[in-house]
Amino acid sequence: MEWLSAENVVAVVTAVLGVLASIGVLWYERRVPRRKRIGYRVQMDTPIGSNVSEGRANVRLGLFDETADMADATLVLLRIENDGSQSIADNDYTGRALHGLTVEFTGRTVRGIAVTQAPGADHLMEHFTPDAGMHHSGPFIRLPRVPLNRGEHFKLLVLLTGATVDSPIRITGGIRDGEVTPNSAARPDEKPPMFGRAARLIIVALTVCVVTLASIILARDDTPPPIGCARGRLTVTGSTAFEPVLRELAEKYEKDCEGSDIVVDPHGSTAGVRELADRGAKSKASGSPPLIVLSDGPKPDGFPQLRENRIAVSLFRIVVNDHVPLKNLALDDIRRIYRGHIHNWKALGGPDLPVLLVSRDANSGTREVFQRRVLGRNEPAQSSRDCASKDDAQALVIRCELDSTEQVLSAVGRLDGAIGYSELRAGTKLSGAHQLAIDFTVPSVDTIGTGTYPFREIEYAYTYGRPPAESLASSFLNYMGRGNGQDVIRTHGHLPCATPKGLLICGED
């Protein structure tokens, strides 16, 4: 389900923790602090004798040294307080005996007791009398039912013998609607912690959730997907000149649109148009087949069922082997070369090398553009299979035909004196060859609008009729012509028809 994403899960967990924390705090504020509670804490437990195993007073003077049985003596300071939110009266103690609380020093014997009170609590001292239940015997001290207001406390300084320090000390007794418990909270005369343990755990948990949620949001690619993503399988064929653009377009669309599978299989504009017409005729009853054909220029006549979409203005170039140092050719000279009127480069001021024409096969849309836009007529017949020697001795010029742009560029770069043509590929470096200006105009997107560079053509996308509006074919066409695909087209050196300049040129040509 779409809502079950990582960020949504973390957000829900964070919200739940926040709600539970709020409920817990509210419960604690309303329930726990309102209980009656007496807390106690050992603030000092230290040896004052000479033979206490865990420590001893090395210097002893006066009574500490002279009193009998002081060899294993210890001194304990015990704090007892009302650390609840309600006052404790004498009738809140629930024991049946006269006294209220019992202090036990396990393994030790009580020798003497001194009771101290906090400033302003002198009234407490009147309760520490034998008649009120105050006495000691062996390891026990019986404490009276001392009423304590909220926050009041008293301390017992106890002299003991018979055991080591840190032996267990425990206070027992009953409090109505309350408890007697060891006190781990900070005292008023101590620096309290900023947060309690529960608060720290809640803060850590909420912080982890928030950081995790922020990390997911930051790491997530928020680039909006193309409008109208579609699922399914689509084949894109036709122009080999437009192949690099098509492959990147397909890769990006599949990344943006989950569930789409686009197969790019170009093998020539003319061959692609014929394949689309054949498949469309066979599947006419079931509608438009999932096939898009890219063509360098308009389709041939005789295919009325094919529907055109103008995608971009494509630029093409003349390339020549590096052993021919020319940088520019006049349009008329290019036509003379391909008519067989110029056989050697020295006729144009170049080296003494024969002219070798490396061309594309008859299915190539690039060849159709070259013939229509540059030559104004068809190329001469093929006269060579290896592009280096004549198979037809009567031919005016050596000319071969190859199946792809890559083969043409490779042959021109390898063969001295070779000349050929290809689409303009932005950012790619020729090997062993260089491109020529035509009438001193270098092909680029910037020169398209001038009208002085002839070797250009509109790139058409054809479908068999109109594909369904929610089909992958329709969505991919929109992506190429109007969506994010325009950036891909532009980076490859083509001008999208949907741009202001592109609309003007695509509408005129």
Whether pTM exceeds 0.75: no
DSSP output for 274-297: HHHHHHHHHTGGG-S-SEEEEEES
**Band of the pLDDT at 433, cuts 50, 70, 90?**
very high
Closest CA to 239 of 275, 267, 264, 273: 267
Which comes out higher in pLDDT, residue 298 or 283? 298
Read off the pLDDT of each residue in 17-23 and give the average, rounded to a whole number: 70
User: In terms of C-beta density within 10 A (0-12 exposed, 13-18 middle, 19 or more buried), how is residue 312 classed?
Assistant: buried
Q: Report yes or no: 155 and 80 within 8 Å, Cβ to Cβ.
A: yes
pLDDT at residue 1, as a whole number: 41
Which comes out higher in pLDDT, residue 450 or 415? 415
The mean of the pLDDT values for the chain is 84
Read off the pLDDT of each residue in 3-11 and give the average, rounded to a whole number: 63
**Band of the pLDDT at 4, cuts 50, 70, 90?**
low
pLDDT at 385 over 80: yes
Amino acid (1-letter code) at residue 481: G
pLDDT at 388 over 90: yes
pLDDT at 51 over 90: no
**Band of the pLDDT at 187, cuts 50, 70, 90?**
very low
If one counts every other C-beta atom within 10 angstroms of the C-beta of residue 351, the result is 14
**Band of the pLDDT at 234, cuts 50, 70, 90?**
very high
**Band of the pLDDT at 376, cuts 50, 70, 90?**
very high
Distance, in Å, from the CA atom of 81 to the CA atom of 43, rounded to the nearest integer, reads: 13
Distance, in Å, from the CA atom of 478 to the CA atom of 309, rounded to the nearest integer, reads: 10
b/e 76-109 (16+ beta carbons within 10 angstroms → b): bbbbbbbbbebebeeebbeeeeebbbbbbbeebb
Q: What is the token pair recorded at 133?
A: 């239940």
**Could you give the dihedral angle defined by the CA atoms of residues 399, 405, 406 and 407, in that order, rounded to the nearest 10 degrees?**
-20
Q: What is the token pair recorded at 358?
A: 């490396």
Of the ranges 7-21, 128-142, 422-436, which is most confident? 128-142
**Band of the pLDDT at 286, cuts 50, 70, 90?**
confident
Read off the pLDDT of each residue in 247-256 and give the average, rounded to a whole number: 92
Strand partners, 81: 39, 153
pLDDT at 28 over 50: yes
Read off the pLDDT of each residue in 304-321 and give the average, rounded to a whole number: 92
**Band of the pLDDT at 318, cuts 50, 70, 90?**
very high
Read off the pLDDT of each residue in 16-34 and give the average, rounded to a whole number: 62
pLDDT at 273 over 70: yes
Q: Report yes or no: 365 and 269 within 8 Å, Cβ to Cβ.
A: yes
Read off the pLDDT of each residue in 236-259 and give the average, rounded to a whole number: 90
Of the ranges 49-58, 141-150, 199-208, 486-495, which is most confident? 141-150
Distance, in Å, from the CA atom of 164 to the CA atom of 167, rounded to the nearest integer, reads: 6
Distance, in Å, from the CA atom of 130 to the CA atom of 141, rounded to the nearest integer, reads: 12
pLDDT at 225 over 70: no
List, for residues 326-348, the tens digit of each pLDDT value.
999 999 999 999 999 999 999 99
Q: Residue 437: phi, psi to the nearest 5?
A: -80, 150
